[in-house]
C-alpha cells in the first residue's frame, strides 16, 4: 500500500514570497490533516479535512495560510506571504477514522520550509 | 481542553539499558492514546495505540505502554534499548471530532 506522499521535500524562499505544498493521502482515507512542526516542538494542527470539507481550521493563520482539498483526495497548503517564523516542517497525515479519534494517522515524510 | 505533556525533553541511555518515556494527558473522557516515533528527516510512525481494554499495550520494535487512568499517564517502555531506537518520540491523544493533540516530544540518545 502506498503511503502519504508529500512534495516538495525541501523549499527555501525569502520572506514575503509564496510557497505551496502538496499532499496525496492514502487511497480511501477520508480524513486529512496538515500539521506544522517547528524545530524542537511537537506537531501543531493547522487544518483538518473530512473528505473535501473543513472540520477544523481554528489554528490556521488565515491571513497568510490557505488550504484546499478539491474532490476529497489531494490537498494543497499555501503560504502567502511567508514570514521568518513560518520556517518549519509541514506534515500531512491521513486516516480512515471512526468517531472520537479511534483510528490511526499515517504521516508523510514532510515538507521542510526555510524562510530567509 | 485536551493536552499532552512530555516532561522529559531529552533522555540519554546506554545500549541494552531499559527505557521509560513519560506522558501525561488531560482529557475529559476516556482518551485514545498513541505513541509515535520520528527519525531525523522522516515523518511520524505509529509505535502503539490504546483504545480500550487491557491497559498494557504492545507495539512494534519491542515497545510497550501502560495506560494508568488514575495518574492520567501513558508511559512508553522498552526493556533493552538498541542504538537504532535513537529518535524523537511523541505521545498523542485522540479526541472528539477525530482531532489529535501531540506532546512536545522526547529526544532519545543511545550511547554505545
pLDDT digits (tens, 9 = 90+) for B47-64: 999 988 889 999 999 999
3-state secondary structure of B10: strand
Suggest the residue from A4, A34, A101 to mutate for an interface test with chain B (most B CBs closer than 10 A): A101
Q: Is residue A53 less than 8 Å (CB to CB) from chain B?
A: no
For B59, the grid coordinates are 507495539
Report chain A's C-alpha Rg in angstroms.
Answer: 13
For A23, the grid coordinates are 499532499
Per-residue pLDDT at A99 exceeds 70? no
Q: Do B43 and A4 touch (CB under 8 A)?
A: yes
> What are the φ/ψ torsions at residue B61 (nearest 5 degrees)?
60, 25
> pLDDT tens digit string along B86-97?
999 999 998 777
CA atoms of B77 and B50, how far apart (whole Å):
14
Confidence grade of residue B98 (pLDDT, cut at 50, 70, 90):
confident
Q: Do A43 and B90 touch (CB under 8 A)?
A: yes
Confidence grade of residue A100 (pLDDT, cut at 50, 70, 90):
low
Q: What percent of chain A is predicted at pLDDT more than 90? A: 80
A74-113 residues labelled b (16+ CB within 10 A) or e (exposed): ebebebeebeeebbbbbbbbbbebeebbebbbbbbbbbbb
Answer yes or no: are the C-beta atoms of B45 and B38 closer than 8 Å.
yes
Answer yes or no: are the C-beta atoms of B35 and B63 closer than 8 Å.
yes
- Say if residue B112 is exposed, middle or buried (CB neighbours under 10 Å; 0-12, 13-18, 19+): exposed
- Please give the residue of chain A at the shortest CA–CA distance from B27: A100
- Please give the residue of chain A at the shortest CA–CA distance from B50: A102
| pLDDT (average), residues A3-16 | 96
- Please give the residue of chain B at the shortest CA–CA distance from A96: B98
Q: Is residue A2 less than 8 Å (CB to CB) from chain B?
A: no
CA atoms of B65 and B11, how far apart (whole Å):
17
A79 CA: distance to closest CA in chain B (Å): 21
Q: In this predicted structure, what is the pLDDT of residue B86?
A: 96
Q: Do A100 and B41 touch (CB under 8 A)?
A: no
List the single range of A46-50, A82-86, A110-114, B26-30 with lowest mean pLDDT.
B26-30
Q: In this predicted structure, what is the pLDDT of residue B94?
A: 86
| pLDDT (average), residues A2-6 | 92
Show Cβ contacts of residue B84 under 8 Å, excluding neighbours closer than 6 positions: none
A16 CA: distance to closest CA in chain B (Å): 26
List the single range of A67-76, A99-108, B15-24, B34-43 with lowest mean pLDDT.
A99-108
B61 CA: distance to closest CA in chain A (Å): 17
Q: Is residue B39 less than 8 Å (CB to CB) from chain A?
A: no
Q: Across all residues in chain B, what is the average pLDDT? A: 92
Amino acid at each position: 500500500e502506498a503511503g502519504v506522499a508529500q512534495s516538495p521535500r525541501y523549499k527555501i524562499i525569502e520572506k514575503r514570497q509564496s510557497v505551496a505544498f502538496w499532499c496525496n493521502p492514502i487511497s480511501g482515507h477520508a480524513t486529512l490533516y496538515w500539521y506544522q512542526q517547528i524545530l524542537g516542538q511537537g506537531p501543531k494542527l493547522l487544518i483538518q479535512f473530512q473528505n473535501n470539507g473543513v472540520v477544523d481550521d481554528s489554528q490556521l493563520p488565515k491571513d497568510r495560510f490557505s488550504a484546499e482539498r478539491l474532490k476529497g483526495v489531494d490537498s494543497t497548503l499555501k503560504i502567502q506571504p511567508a514570514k521568518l517564523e513560518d520556517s518549519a516542517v509541514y506534515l500531512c497525515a491521513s486516516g480512515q477514522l471512526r468517531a472520537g479519534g479511534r483510528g490511526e494517522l499515517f504521516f508523510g515524510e514532510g515538507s521542510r520550509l526555510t524562510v530567509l | 481542553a485536551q493536552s499532552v505533556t512530555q516532561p522529559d525533553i531529552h533522555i540519554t541511555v546506554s545500549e541494552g539499558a531499559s527505557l521509560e518515556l513519560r506522558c501525561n494527558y488531560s482529557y475529559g473522557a476516556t482518551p485514545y492514546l498513541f505513541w509515535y516515533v520520528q527519525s531525523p528527516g522522516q515523518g511520524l510512525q505509529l509505535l502503539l495505540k490504546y483504545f480500550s481494554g487491557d491497559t498494557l499495550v504492545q507495539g512494534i520494535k519491542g515497545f510497550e505502554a501502560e495506560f494508568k487512568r488514575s495518574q492520567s499517564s501513558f508511559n512508553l517502555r522498552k526493556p533493552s534499548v538498541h542504538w537504532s531506537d535513537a529518535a524523537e518520540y511523541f505521545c498523542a491523544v485522540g479526541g472528539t471530532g477525530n482531532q489529535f493533540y501531540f506532546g512536545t516530544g522526547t529526544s532519545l540518545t543511545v550511547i554505545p
